[in-house]
Amino acid sequence: MKNIYKPILFGTDMVQANLSGRKTQTRRIIKSKFGQCMFCGCVDTDCTQCIEKTGTACYWVDDTYTVCSACSDLKNTSKAKYQIGDILWVRESFCFQGSDDNVLYKVNHPEKDYSHRPIGGWKPSIHMPKGAARIFIYVTNVRAERLQDISEADAIAEGIERQKTNYGDYLFKHYLKDKFGPSAKHSFQTLWQKINGIESWDKNPYVWVYEYERIEKPKDFI
């Protein structure tokens, strides 16, 4: 079977987490059009598959999120951007040094490292071409849940930074302040807010939870 390759974007913090092996999950907001089920794509005026499966039509969960009765158990992942078995190549901030064959990656060069600061500046991850990719991940599981339902264990799997204390336990980074705290979930909350805005956590959107493992560059990747 031919491999399916898709790009995925990560910020510098999470690129580092992937490189270090800390990160094995990522959460992405589920987006849908008004009146459309975010999981299967059907609409409340034409949801024959919902009626066939459950005998009822679509319904609104609240003013923001629409989920049909056929998908109310959150197990329908057919509309997820990434599927189990997909291989994702990571887009990260980069630049070319002299030629397209010589790639520098921002995560490898701290802001104070003036010796490798590119003349034209770092290019945003969205512009990274396939040929410059060096990180590849294999999707092992896909599920949906509310953002705030994340567990402590899953917050750690999201790759948050942590420090071991003298007592053998861990403190977790606060991404909005220069400090560490005892809760992995709160650490992830601050990371989410740093990326998506302060109010984004309180909105508690549905998210796709992608679990994955890092792999070597596939031989057939072009």
Residue 138 CB burial class (10 angstroms; 0-12, 13-18, ≥19): middle
Q: What's the full length of the chain, in residues?
A: 222
In this predicted structure, what is the pLDDT of residue 177? 93
- Residue 220 inside a domain? The answer is no
Which residues have CB under 8 Å from 15's CB, separation 6+? 90, 92, 93, 105, 107, 135
In this predicted structure, what is the pLDDT of residue 37? 82
Q: Are 109 and 44 in contact (CB under 8 A)?
A: no
Which residues have CB under 8 Å from 23's CB, separation 6+? 14, 17, 157, 158, 159
- Residue 190 inside a domain? The answer is yes
Q: Residue 45 and residue 34: Cα distance in Å, rounded?
A: 12
Q: Which domain holds residue 176?
A: 5-215
Helix, strand or coil, per DSSP, at residue 2: coil
CA dihedral 139, 157, 186, 201 (to 10 degrees): 0
Q: Residue 53 and residue 70: Cα distance in Å, rounded?
A: 6
- Residue 139 inside a domain? The answer is yes
Percent of the chain with pLDDT over 70: 86
Q: In Å, what is the CA distance from 66 to each residue of 1, 36, 40, 156, 221?
A: 35, 6, 11, 29, 37
In this predicted structure, what is the pLDDT of residue 168? 83
- Residue 222 inside a domain? The answer is no
- The string of pLDDT tens digits covering residues 210-222 is 999 999 999 999 8
- pTM here is 0.88
- The string of pLDDT tens digits covering residues 96-111 is 887 777 899 999 987 7
State the average pLDDT over residues 29-41: 81
Higher pLDDT, 105 or 73: 105
Number of domains, the chain: 1
In this predicted structure, what is the pLDDT of residue 36? 79
Q: Are 109 and 95 in contact (CB under 8 A)?
A: no
- Residue 134 inside a domain? The answer is yes
CB atoms within 10 A of CB 97: 13
Helix, strand or coil, per DSSP, at residue 216: coil
